Structure 1
Amino acid sequence: MTPNCDTPVYTATHFFGDHSMIRSLLAATAALALTVAAPVLADPLKFAVTDIEGLEALQQEFAAFETALEEISGEEIELFAVSSRTAAVEALNQGQVDLVLTGPAEYAVIKELTDAQIVTAWQRPNYYAQIVALSEGPVKTVQDLKGKTVTFGSVGSTSQHLGPAQVLSDFGLAYNTDYMPQIISRNVAVEALIRGDVAAVGMNEGHLASIREAFPEQSFTVIARGRDLPNDILVARADADAEAVAAVKAAFVENGETLMQAVLQGDDNQKYKGGFFLSEVKDGDYDYVRSMYQTIGVDTSSFVGN
C-alpha cells in the first residue's frame, strides 16, 4: 500500500539527530561498558620499618624483599618510609601504612596505641641482653654493681636499655635504686668503662663482638646475661585488607627460606642471618617486654624517651 503523502515518515535521524550524534552516543555507550567491565585494582600494601629512616635507606635494605614478597604473595607491595617509631604509629592510625616491621619493645607500645595485628615474627639468633664489665676490674658479680653507675645504650632499645635493666632486675637490683643508670652511646660508654668512670655497660651479643674488635687490647667479661629476647615482629594495620594480609602471612609460612634470602640482601639485615620466620606468635609472648617497661618505671602508653 502506498503511504499517503500526508503521512509522516520517520527515520533514525528524526529520533537521534544526525549521524555524528549517533556515533557519539554509541561511543559513550561503549566507553561505559568498558568502565563497568574493567577490574578495580587494589591499593598496594605499604610496608614500613621503624628503625630505618628515609626511603633510600629502606630501598637499599628491603628492595629485594619487596620484590620477592610481591612474587610469592601475589600482592603489590610498596616500601613506605617513616621517620620514627612515633611516625609509624601515626601512619597506622591514619591508614597510610599497612605493614610495619618493628622490634619487641616498640611492638608493646604500637599494639597498645594502634591494636595492630601480628603477621609473623622475625627471629634474630643470639638476641639477648647482657651486662659487661672489665675482666681485670673490680666488678666480678652483679652484686658488685650496688651503688655504682651502669650505662645503657639507645634509650628504649630492647637489647641496649630495657633488656639489660631487666637482667639486673632479675638478679635483684632495682633500677635507679640499687645502681645509677645512665644512657650513653656504646663506644663512649666503653671508653668510660676502661677509664673506671662507670662500672658496667648493658649491650647485646652482637655489640660485645664489635666492642672486642674495636678495643682488642682490653678484656671484657659478661657478668650477667638474660634469656633470649622476643623476636622482631611484622604487624598489620587493624583494618587492613584481611585477604591481602592472609596472602602475605601465607607467603612467610610457605616460602620463608626464599623470603629470608631476600631479606639478607640488605647489609643491616645481617642480624637475621641464621634466623627464620615464626607464624605461631601470640601477643602474650611479649609480656616479658612489658615487664621491662615496669622495671624502669614507665608504661607502654608511649615510647621511652619521647
Structure 2
Amino acid sequence: MSAPLLQLSDVTVRYPVGAAGLFGRRRSVVHAVEQVSLSVAAGEIVALVGESGCGKSTVARTIAGVQRVSGGQVCFEGTDLARLTGSALQPYRRAIQLVHQDPYDSLDPRMTVRSIVSEGLRIHRVPRGDRDAVVRRALERVGLSPARWVLDRFPHELSGGQRQRVAIAAAVALTPRLLVADEPVSMLDVSVRASVLNLIDDLRSDGLGVLFITHDLASAVVLADRIAVMYFGRIVEEGPARQVLHRPGHPYTRALLSAMPSPDPSVRTRPAVVRGERPDALNPPPGCAFGSRCPVAQPECAAQIPPLSTVAAGQRVACVVASAGNEG
C-alpha cells in the first residue's frame, strides 16, 4: 500500500492565554487539539466531524501551515511540515489549499472573480501570460461555465453557492494535491449545498485528496469514504463512513447520529439528550472528556483517557465500554 498523502501523528496544539502576571506567574493554556492522528490518501475524502469549538478548524489551519503545532507531526508526502519554516514551506502552500467556511468573508469584495482566482497564481509566480487560461479552466472545472459570464463580476453580484465555487476555483487553479474544506457548505442555503458537495466529490477524479471538515454528520456520511469524529480536541472514533453510520461505537457518535433527520418522513426519530456541559479547555479532566455527559460511563472513564482501539475492521473507538464490548 502506498504512503498516505497526508499523515497527522499525535498532533497537539495548545494556546497560552492571558497575561503572564507579576513575579513570572505561568499563563493559562487552552488545550485546543490533543494527540490527533489522521490520514488522507490521494483520491480519498475523509470527513472530520464534530460540534463547534471541538478543534476541527485548528486542525485545518495546522495542515495549511498557518498554525504551529505544540507537538506531533504533520507529514505531507513524507515530509514533516511542522519542522519547516519560511521559504521551505512555499511549495507545500501551493500543494495544500484551504477553502474557508464563509464565502461572504473569504472573497475580497473589491476584486473581480478574475482577480480573485488569479491572485494565488501571481503569488506562486505563474507566468502572467498563462494566468487567464488557467483561471478560465478552473472556473469551468467548478461548474461556472462559461467562465466569461463571471470573470468580471464582483462577489456581491453572485449567489452564495457561486461564491463558494469561486473560492474552490481559486484553490483548484493552483493544482493542489490536497484540499482542506473547512465547513464549505454550512453558510449556504440547503437548496445549493448538494451541488457544492457533488462538486467536491467530483474533484477526487483528479486524484485530489480531500479533508472535509463539518459539524453536519449527514453531509459527511453522504460524501466521505472515511469519517473521524472529534470531541473536545480529540478523535473519539474513526472508520469507514458506512460502518460508522450503521455501527457507531462511541456514545458521542451515537448521539450525533440520533440527531440526523430521517429520509423517510413517516419515521420519527428522537435525538439522544446529551446532558451537562463540555469540560473547560483551560482545565481538562484527567479521564475521558465525554465521561461526565456519557450515558454509559464507568468509574474508570474518569481516571484515564482511553486510546483509540480497534472494534471492527478499519474502525477504532476511544471508549473503554466499546472496547470491553468488543473483547467480549
Q: What interval of TM-score do these two structures reach, taking the shorter chain for normalisation? A: under 0.3
Where relative contact order (Cα < 8 A, 6+ residues apart) is larger, the structure is 1
| Larger Rg, first or second structure (1 or 2) | 1
TM-score normalised by the chain length of structure 2: 0.21
Structure with the bigger percentage of helix: 1
